């Protein structure tokens, strides 16, 4: 099995650099001055907050080294990070961006509808999803509030942090995790999804929220500074904070949702030669080296489940597709339940 994996790894490496050769020939042919090609290129990337570490610590440097070795060209990355909804709105408002890594598919589709990209992002490897991570709960050392599941976040006396669902993809995933877990559990128990129970659980949980930071990273910072008893967040954020050994624990609910994160090339006004360079980098994000970098920082791989063996196994995982996909989950749960029925009462 290992020889098959190595053969696949070798084939991927060889194939991507065969594409490089073709790309460079294309770029050179499309440029007026050949000397311009050999100097430098820049890729501007906008990402949701928690992709910063794997990109800047491993993926960018590795790709820059590889690119220079193969082409002699210096490649520079100009990144910017914020909540996924904010990133999407910034791009729609006209900021210069070449690539977007977003927290939710709905944001990727908004870029298509907003005509800032003509790129069919779902035609990328793995349907355009570059990594995934389950939603979990961060608690204080010793778990004094005895939190074992999302339902426990609604107990009296629990002070909860949860990202703002208006600005943050993590906030929307958190709502789907809490509400959806009750639907999935009730369906497994009785064959019927109990929407009333899901509503009551989300209502009680929302009643315990003391702050709604604008991104997953901002929420983690608040929690790290001592605010609240618990925080709903991405697994990778919890793992990174626990690793600091500052008095935090991670609780993995037995039934929770996997968040999935799409990549979009912002190509509406992008010259063909630039698109060739950008697309090649984007496809590299699914290469074994990049997938390992995602895993090393706490994301789970979408290409190789053997890389995910170090993570906790989720007893009853579910995905947004189990809630009808974003086209149904957002209007029915985020807007129909949280925004119209629960959030006004909480305010």
Supply the CATH number for residue 9's domain.
Answer: 3.40.190.10
Whether 188 and 300 share a structural domain: no
H-helix or E-strand containing 139? strand 129-140
pLDDT computed for residue 343 by the predictor: 87
The count of domains in the chain is 2
Range of the domain at 266: 2-131+260-307
- Alpha-carbon span 312 to 253, nearest angstrom: 11
CB distance 162 to 346 below 8 Å:
no
User: Which pLDDT score is estimated for 39?
Assistant: 80
Q: Which residues contact 225 (CB under 8 A, 6 or more apart)?
A: none
User: CA-CA distances (angstroms) from residue 301 to 131, 133, 286, 331?
Assistant: 5, 9, 9, 29
How much is the pLDDT for 37? 52
154 and 231, same domain (yes or no): yes
Residues 187 and 329 in one domain: yes
DSSP state of 302: S
Assess whether 44 and 173 both reside in one domain: no
Q: What share of the chain is helix, strand, coil (3-state, %, to 5)?
A: 55, 20, 25
> Do 51 and 20 sit in the same domain of this protein?
yes
Whole-number pLDDT of residue 344: 79
pTM, rounded to two decimals: 0.89
On whether both 12 and 48 belong to a single domain, the answer is yes
Q: Indicate if 301 and 319 belong to the same structural domain.
A: no
Residues of the chain with pLDDT under 70: 1-38, 346-347
Together in a domain, 47 and 110? yes
Shared domain for 7 and 152, answered yes or no, is no
Residues 333 and 214 both lie in one domain: yes
How far apart are the C-alpha atoms of 197 and 200, rounded to whole Å?
5
Regarding whether 324 and 289 lie in a shared domain, the answer is no
Give the pLDDT score at 139.
98
- Residues 302, 320 within the same domain: no
């Amino acid at each position: 099995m290992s020889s098959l994996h190595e053969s696949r790894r070798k084939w991927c490496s060889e194939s991507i650099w065969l594409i490089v050769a073709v790309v460079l020939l294309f770029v050179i042919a499309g440029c007026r001055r050949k000397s311009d090609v050999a100097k430098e290129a820049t890729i501007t990337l906008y990402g949701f907050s928690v992709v910063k570490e794997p990109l800047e610590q491993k993926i960018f440097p590795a790709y820059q080294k590889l690119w220079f070795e193969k082409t002699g060209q210096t490649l520079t990355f100009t990144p910017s990070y914020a909540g996924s909804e904010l990133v999407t709105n910034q791009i729609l408002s006209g900021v210069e961006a070449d690539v977007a890594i977003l927290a939710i598919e709905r944001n990727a589709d908004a870029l298509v509808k907003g005509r800032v990209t003509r790129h069919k992002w779902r035609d990328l490897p793995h349907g355009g999803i570059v990594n995934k991570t389950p939603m979990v709960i961060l608690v204080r050392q010793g778990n004094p509030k005895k939190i074992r599941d999302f339902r426990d976040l609604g107990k009296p006396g629990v002070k909860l942090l949860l990202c703002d669902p208006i600005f943050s993809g993590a906030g929307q995933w958190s709502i789907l995790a809490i509400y959806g877990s009750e639907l999935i559990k009730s369906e497994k128990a009785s064959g019927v999804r109990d929407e009333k129970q899901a509503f009551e659980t989300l209502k009680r949980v929302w009643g315990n929220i003391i702050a709604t930071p604008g991104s997953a990273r901002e929420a983690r910072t608040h929690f790290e500074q001592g605010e609240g008893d618990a925080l709903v967040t991405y697994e990778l954020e919890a793992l990174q904070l626990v690793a600091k050994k500052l008095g935090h624990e991670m609780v993995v609910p037995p039934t929770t949702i996997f968040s999935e994160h799409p990549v979009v090339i912002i190509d509406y006004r992008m010259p063909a030669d630039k698109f060739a360079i950008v697309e090649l980098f984007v496809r590299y994000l699914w290469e074994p080296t990049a997938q390992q970098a995602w895993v090393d920082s706490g994301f789970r791989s979408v290409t190789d489940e053997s890389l995910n063996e170090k993570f906790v196994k989720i007893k009853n995982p579910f995905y947004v597709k189990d809630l009808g996909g974003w086209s149904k989950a957002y209007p029915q749960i985020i807007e129909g339940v949280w925004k119209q029925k629960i959030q006004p009462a909480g305010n």
